[in-house]
Amino acid sequence: MKHDDTFESRRRALLQAAGAAAVLLPFSRAGLAAEPAKPKELIVRVWGGEWKDAIDGGVSKGFTKATGIAIKYDETEDNELQPKLWAAVKQKRRPPVAVNWDTTTNATKSALKNMGEDLGDLTNLKGLLPVAKPLGFDGWPLVNVYSYVYVLAYRTEAFPGGAPKSWSVLLDPKFKGRIALYNDGIGFHPAAQVAGGGKVEDIPKNMKACWDFIAKLKAQKPLLGEDPDFTNWFQKGEIDLACTIVTNARGAKKNGVKVAWTIPQEGAKVDTDALWIPKGLPANEVYWAKQYVNYALTAEAQQGWCDGLGLPGVNPNIKPPADMVGDPAYPTKPEDFAKLLRVPNKIQVENEKEWFGKFKKIMQS
Amino acid sequence: MIRVLDFLESLRATLWPRAARRFEAAAFLLPALLLVGVLVLGLAWMADASLRLLDTETFELSEHWTLANYRDLLENDTAWIVLGRSVLGAAVVTAVTLALAFPYAWVMVRTGSAWLRKLLLVSLFLPFFIGQVVRAYGWLIVLGKEGLVNQLLGALGMGPFKMIYTYGSVLFGLVQYMLPFAVLLIAPAVTAIDEEVELASETLGAPWWRTFLEVTLPLARPGLVAAAMVVFTLALTDYAMPVILGGGTNDFVANMVYDAFFRTSDSGMGSAVAIALVAAATLLAGVLLTWLGAGTLGFRGEAKR
């Protein structure tokens, strides 16, 4: 694309002028001398609640302190921002955000459309865990920043005998109308596949076990929602069980809701989130957006950010927060990793539409 | 002051000469035409996108046109279920809303008590200031498992009952949302009814219910038809109530459009669903107008009986 070529050449020229020192030594005196002009602020897309608090305390405050660049947040839902970003890049308009905190699945879609700047020149990519590298791309159109597990969260008062052992507890008639899933079924497919008697390796070719299990679940009249709904539903006493990201369950617990979580015997899906920078920003903002991402990968920033989320980062030098030590939802031991169900991102992206259609067909019938 | 007025008059004569005055009506229409033009452009873009298929390896729409999205839509059981739920829901909401709105509008117009009229007007306009989403969340607080109603019932030794996240709760929320629109559309029609006509009916010996059915209701028909059309189309295309009060399993067509555009990044299928929704709503409105006649809206023309 002509636009990309022009933009790339401008960016390269600026980076050459800035000098390699600026890239290798961000925020240092040597770097500052040749750095491009600092924007007053950078806009970062985030999820709200504890997600925003975590990135603000862990990454943004440190970045602002080091550079003087203020960070503003755009809390537009990731799915809703995506077409706006795509349209902006396609129409050669300035994109609405400088850094997009996104699910790896959505970020991969954008990367397939060549929407992002290459992050391959970030100095802090070296030494990250292999999970940081996006699969199926030569360069780094995105960088994965942490992993998360879709746990089985439960209201402790409903389980006086301790944590449920299996995802099959969702089918217990006692919990009819009191269970919750994501409204697109995300995070539940591999667990349903195993709980239904199938194998994760059979995804996507043979998912009969998954769809049969979800069809049985429909009779349980589940509530379907987004991240904030789960906390709300637990708080309001609407549900006893949910398949949700551990961060949401932890957030509810921190807010005084009597909630705990477990990784059932069938295992639980693990996934990643990513940061990426859309094309079409002025060259100086691309530079500073990259510095933001680079800073987010440092041990210091990752520690603060991931402590807030209760999730394992991609920097190997960080430690789990006190309340997550020994928790299999923050995997550290081989037996923890053995219980994680992983579906390659390429398979997720290519099959998302079909899976969504099947999930909707069951749930809307 | 006179000089200022003279200046303004000469300015107007320069900018808008007498010869141009015959275009005044068209000029007044221009903003509305521009707005409709933008909408038509958007629809044209969507019609084009609806004829292009998504490639899930590149997430680009196809270069060539195809009817595949429409074919998939016609063969999609979920789409038919959601369309049926939306049309049925819109019909029920329209019937219930009109049944509640008419007596409200009638009392508001006919009451002799200024205090009652003010109370009804304030009750009517207050929800407008609150907005749909906040009102829907309000119902979650009132009708939830630990909400106000269940707490009261609990004090009486009953419940808790599931009153939200059902199809019924979506329709309930929509009726509450639509009621002010319907009252505002019906009230002018009730105001226009000459009370002496009703008195004449009663003087001739008709009981009140017969006067109501054969005099009041027919004369209020322009307002009722307008309210029915507005309520039906707004309910049919509503997004927020099914999302907030439906619990994720009571989607309307607008939710399908959202899902296609924003969840599966398929603007082709999203456009196809949107075009189908616009076509269905337009067709139903057209059928209603053809059946009742445009005159029922108070436009010039013969209203059918």
Cα–Cα nearest to A271, from A243, A300, A232: A243
**Whole-number Å distance between alpha carbons of A314 and A103:** 15
Same-fold call for A2-147+272-323 versus A149-270+342-364: yes
Contact A136, A346 (CB under 8 A): yes
Interchain contact B144–A (C-beta under 8 A):
yes
Architecture of domain B89-251: Orthogonal Bundle (1.10)
Angle at B280 between CA B278 and CA B286, to 5 degrees: 100
Nearest chain A residue (CA) to B165? A223
Q: What percent of chain A has pLDDT over 90?
A: 82
ipTM passes above 0.85: no
The structural architecture, per CATH, of the domain A2-147+272-323 is 3-Layer(aba) Sandwich (3.40)
Q: What is the model's pLDDT at position A21?
A: 38
What average pLDDT does the segment B105-120 reach? 95
Task: Tell me whether B145 touches chain A (CB under 8 Å).
Answer: yes
Mean pLDDT of B102-116: 95
Residue A244: pLDDT band with limits 50, 70, 90: very high
Give kind and range of the element (H or E) at residue B137.
helix B132-143
Indicate yes or no: CB of A357 within 8 angstroms of CB of B60. Answer: no
Cβ proximity of B276 and B73 under 8 Å: yes
The reply to whether residue B248 touches residue A223, judged by beta carbons under 8 angstroms, is yes
Best to test chain B binding among A234, A351, A353, A362 (most B CBs inside 10 Å) = A353
Q: Do A79 and B262 touch (CB under 8 A)?
A: yes
Per CB-CB distance under 8 Å, the chain B contacts of A183 are 248
Listed range (A234-238, A338-342, B100-104) with the worst mean pLDDT: A234-238
- Where residue A290 falls among pLDDT bands split at 50, 70, 90? very high
Given a contact cutoff of 8 angstroms between Cβ atoms, the answer to whether A252 and A63 are in contact is no
Identify the residue whose tokens are 């749909």: B132
CB distance A185 to A359 below 8 Å: yes
Q: What is the DSSP string of B214-248?
A: IIIHHHTHHHHHHHHHHHHHHHHT--HHHHHHSTT
Report the pLDDT value the prediction gives residue B145, as an integer from 0 to 100.
87
Cβ within 8 Å, pair B146-A236: yes
So what's the pLDDT on residue A135? 86
Window 34-93 of B: residues touching A by CB (8 A cutoff) are 54, 56-60, 76-78, 81-82
Q: Can you give the pLDDT at residue B63?
A: 94
Q: Which of A184, A223, A237 sits opposite B263 (nearest CB)?
A: A184
Structure tokens at A206: 């043979």
* The pLDDT value given to residue B302: 52
A149-270+342-364 maps to CATH 3.40.190.10? yes
pLDDT at residue number A12: 40
Please state the rounded mean pLDDT for residues B36-49. 95
Provide the residue ranges of all domains of chain A, joining segments of one domain with +.
Answer: 2-147+272-323, 149-270+342-364
Residue A333 has pLDDT above 60, yes or no: yes
Q: What values do phi and psi take at A231, rounded to 5?
A: -60, -45
Please report the pLDDT score of residue A1 as a whole number.
36
Nearest-CA distance from A82 to chain B in Å?
Answer: 8
Rounded to two decimals, the pTM is 0.83
Choose the weakest-confidence range: A20-34, A61-75, A348-362, B25-39.
Answer: A20-34
Closest residue on chain A to B61 (Cα) = A113
- Residue carrying structure tokens 């020149």: A121
Please tell me the predicted confidence (pLDDT) of residue A28: 46
CA distance B231 to chain A (A): 24
Contact between B59 and A225 using a beta-carbon 8 Å cutoff: no
SS3 B60: strand
- Phi and psi for A125 in degrees, rounded to 5? -70, -30
pLDDT at A29: 41
- Residues of A whose CB is below 8 A from B265: 82-83, 109
Which pLDDT score, from 0 to 100, does residue B300 have? 56
> Predicted confidence band at B126 (pLDDT cuts at 50, 70, 90)?
confident
Residues B194-224: tens digit of each pLDDT: 999 999 999 999 999 999 999 999 999 989 9
Element (H, E) at B14: helix B2-15
Question: Cα(first)–Cα(last) distance of chain A, in Å?
Answer: 44
Across B230-236, average pLDDT: 94
Burial pattern A58-94, b for ≥16 Cβ within 10 A else e, equals bbbebbbeebebebebbebebbebbebbbebbeeeee
Segments making up each domain of chain B, as ranges: 89-251
User: Is A9 a residue whose pLDDT tops 80?
Assistant: no
pLDDT tens-digit map of B247-281? 999 999 999 999 999 999 999 999 999 999 999 98
Nearest to A223 among B54, B60, B165 (CB): B165
User: pLDDT: is A227 or B276 the higher one?
Assistant: B276
In whole numbers, what is the pLDDT of chain B averaged over residues?
91
Q: What is the mean pLDDT of residues B172-198?
A: 94
Q: Is residue B146 less than 8 Å (CB to CB) from chain A?
A: yes
pLDDT confidence tier of residue A167, bands split at 50, 70 and 90: very high
Number of Cβ within 10 Å of residue A167's Cβ equals 23
- What HEC string does chain A produce? CHHHHHHHHHHHHHHHHHCHHHHHCCCCHHHHHHCCCCCCEEEEECCCCHHHHHHHHHHHHHHHHHHCCEEEEECCCHHHHHHHHHHHHHCCCCCCCCEEEEEHHHHHHHHHCCCECCCCCCHHHCCCCHHHCCCCCCCCCCEEEEEEEEEEEEEHHHCCCCCCCCHHHHHCHHHCCCEEEECCCCCCHHHHHHHCCCCHHHCCCCCHHHHHHHHHHHCCCCEEECHHHHHHHHHCCCCCEEEEEHHHHHHHHHCCCCEEEECCCCCEEEEEEEEECECCCCHHHHHHHHHHHHHHCCHHHHHHHHHHHCCCECCCCCCCCHHHCCCCCCCCCHHHHHCEECCCHHHHHHHHHHHHHHHHHHHHC
Angstrom distance (rounded) from CA A149 to CA A189: 13
Subunit contact A224:B162, Cβ cutoff 8 A: no
- B165–A contact, CB cutoff 8 A: yes
* Angle (nearest 5°) at CA A230 between A226 and A233: 125
Q: What is the pLDDT of residue B228?
A: 93
What confidence category does residue A170 fall into, taking pLDDT thresholds of 50, 70 and 90?
very high
What pLDDT sits at residue B151?
92
Nearest Cα to Cα of residue B17 among B7, B9, B25: B9
Instruction: Identify which of A104, A103, A106 has the alpha carbon closest to the alpha carbon of residue A83.
Output: A106
